[in-house]
Structure 1
Amino acid sequence: MDVTFTYDRPEEGPGSGPLSVGWFLAQDKGAVLYDAPERVSIRPPNRGHAKSAARCPAVVQLESRYFMVKCPYDLHIGFARDAKGKAVLVNRAGAASPVRSNKLGELLTLVNEAEWRFPDRPTVQLHLPYCFIADEPVYMAQISAFAHYRADPLPGTIFGGRFPISIWPRPLMWAFEWHEPQKDLILKRGEPLFYVQFEGMDPSRPVQLVEAERTAELAAYLEKLSGVVNYVNQTFALFKAAEAVRPKRLLVPKTRE
């Protein structure tokens, strides 16, 4: 779907300098749990040889375009069915779990079985407060952490996604399709959870990721977009309506005293 952007470009002019993208947390509750997104950088010990992959311009260029979001929780979850055949999540860690069982449901949701893409693959969603914003046309893609090796692979795949953060900033979630529900889902705090990639109008521009201030204007705009997925099937159809109420500037870099 084509979207016409009418808000201000950076002061230096359209397409000049780095592509500025802001990140922020949608809420302050538990903010210390969530690490800042980091640029992906896989640097092996061998950088001395001129032909080392660590010095390859193509490899460095690829890595520089992805940012990693780390998992904020330690979770050990199983899938089961209760006596009535209803799909349920099981906290395998029990009393040893760092996350209290009565709080687990606030973080992790088992999607209604009627909405699974495949009848034998449960879908779970991990709710996160991470949001991204830009003041010029930028699409963000959320993808798996493909460059990080897992000794014990996850028993499924994540749902990727791509949308324009410049007019549709919203809290992300980690959606997982459980291909092998007989195997437990184990997530560890501090490990890569997913990557994000940003695309502007000019793919050659480097991306500069900064922490953004959650201003009153930004909070009000987020409120206008909040929860609409519960009322329409195609949220992309609302892009023009969102653009019409968007303030000209939303990205205000956060200052540290």
Structure 2
Amino acid sequence: MQLSVSFENTEGRPRGSGPVTVGWLLTEQKGGIIYAPPERVRSVDVDRRHAKSASRCPAVINLESRYFVIPCPFDIHIGFTRDDNGKAALRNLAGEASSIRASKLGEKLHLTNEAEWRRPGVPTIQLSLPYVFISDEPVYMSQVSPFMHYRKEPLPGTIFGGRFPINVWPRPLMWAFEWHEPEKPIRLQRGEPLFYAGFETLGPERSVQMVEAEATQDLKDYMELISGAVNYVNQTFSLFEAAEARRPEVLVKPVPRKGRG
């Protein structure tokens, strides 16, 4: 049986046209003001005066239009260490100058168990985030490095990204990072790009319209249904068909805004 989470229109309905609506929301409201809305990648600071400028190339514009930036919510300045017993640990190098309390940073940022690292000697850290992306049409989201933004001092490792269908598997995101040079600190400033969210739709010509969505009871119940599945099975993709069978018909309900009809 073909799943509608694939890019084959197996349901016998006419293919949609126009922009695909993708909703975003936060799973927590306490302190939620620090989490900025996703912003579409745009070359706003480049020279477009020449007709042949690369910044005016349709291919470049089309590529940028499919990626949205998720900014870093707070300053991060950490180092890697090992305690007297050799156990891996993180150090908050900002100390008293840190803009975030150490206890709060510890709630959001943690080092994964060394047995789960993909490469020996390459620590993996995870930053828990409240961002959720949803859609009522088949859409795959890819979480990737912010490769169109330049960093004067590159991070000492690589982002541990992923790709999954947000129409059947909405879940809070996290920023995962493989620390290839653990002798070097990781330093991120609030507001700088943390990662990109890229979206693939059924029709490659269809654009993405991003809206803030309500955390409806149907959505909360559905997310509760699928949450934590990774703790019980190794291949969560095998659960997509079961999840889709129990999915409410509509999950994306835009947040009402003043002036919206």
Same fold per superposition (TM over 0.5): yes
Are the equivalent residues in 2 in contact too, given 1:135–1:251 (CA < 8 A)?
yes
Identity %: 63
Kindly tell me: are residues 2 and 190 of structure 1, through their superposed partners in 2, closer, same or farther at Cα, counting changes over 3 Å? farther
Where structure 2 has 5 or more consecutive residues not aligned to the other structure, the ranges are 6-12
SS in 2 for 1:77: strand
Q: 8 Å contact 2:81–2:91 — kept in the other structure?
A: yes
- Counterpart for residue 162 of structure 1: 163
Q: Look up the equivalent residue of 1:110 and give its one-letter code.
A: L
Deviations 1:34-66 (A, max 9, x none): 000000012344211111112111111111111
| Aligned equivalents of 1:45, 1:114: Cα separation in 2 | 45
Displacement of 1:164 in angstroms is: 0.4
Specify the SS of the correspondent of 1:117: coil
Alignment map for 1:192-203 (pairs within 5 Å): 192-203=193-204
1:75-90 aligned within 5 A? 75-90=76-91
Map of 1:3 onto structure 2: 3
TM-score by length of 1: 0.94
1:56-95 map, 5 Å:
56-95=57-96
Count of aligned residue pairs for this structure pair:
251
Pairwise mapping of residues 50-129 of structure 1 onto structure 2 (< 5 A)?
A: 50-129=51-130
Q: 1:226 to 1:202 in 2, by over 3 A?
A: same
- 1:183 equivalent in alignment to 2:163: no
In 1: Cα distance, 2:208 partner to 2:17 partner: 12
Tell me the TM-score normalised to structure 2 length.
0.93
Distance 1:215 1:158 in 2: 31
Task: Name the aligned partner's letter for residue 215 of structure 1.
Answer: T
Check the 8 A contact 2:4/2:138 in 1, yes or no. Answer: no
In 2, the alpha carbon distance for the partners of 1:220 and 1:182 equals 43
Whole-Å separation in 1 of the counterparts to 2:211 and 2:15: 19
Once the two structures are superposed, the pairs formed by residues 41-52 of structure 1 within 5 Å of their partners are 41-52=42-53
Conservation of the 8 A alpha-carbon contact between 1:44 and 1:54: no
Q: Runs of 4 or more off by more than 4 Å in structure 1?
A: none
Q: CA RMSD in A?
A: 1.5
1:174 maps to amino acid: W
The code of the aligned residue for 1:126 comes to L
SS at match of 1:102: helix
Q: Contact between 1:43 and 1:54, CA under 8 Å: does it hold in 2? A: no
